[in-house]
Amino acid sequence: MADAFPTSLCTRCALVRRIQTDRGSVFLQCGLARTDPRFRKYPPQPVHRCEGFRQEGPA
């Protein structure tokens, strides 16, 4: 994933979806927000701590 937010945990999370608008704005959508109200759909970046973080790829 391109690093729009290099210090954010979200860029390394397996549950994130990267959204880019036609104008070039980038948003990171949390996959947990669909099923767990504790998580924001588009968390303010950068995120440095998250209970829902799941490492992307092999640990």
Per-residue pLDDT tens over the stretch 31-58: 999 999 999 999 999 999 999 999 987 6
Q: CB–CB of 11/26 below 8 Å?
A: no
37 within a domain of the structure (yes/no): yes
pTM reported for the whole predicted model: 0.83
58 within a domain of the structure (yes/no): no
Rounded Cα distance between 24 and 50, Å, is 26
36 within a domain of the structure (yes/no): yes
Rounded Cα distance between 4 and 42, Å, is 14
Q: What tokens appear for 28 in the block?
A: 């990171």
19 within a domain of the structure (yes/no): yes
- Once rounded to an integer, what is the mean pLDDT over residues 12-20? 95
The domain of 16 spans 1-49
- pLDDT, position 49: 96
Higher pLDDT, 4 or 18: 18
26 within a domain of the structure (yes/no): yes
- Once rounded to an integer, what is the mean pLDDT over residues 16-30? 95
57 within a domain of the structure (yes/no): no
Q: How many domains does the chain have?
A: 1
Please identify which residue in the block is written with the tokens 């303010």: 44
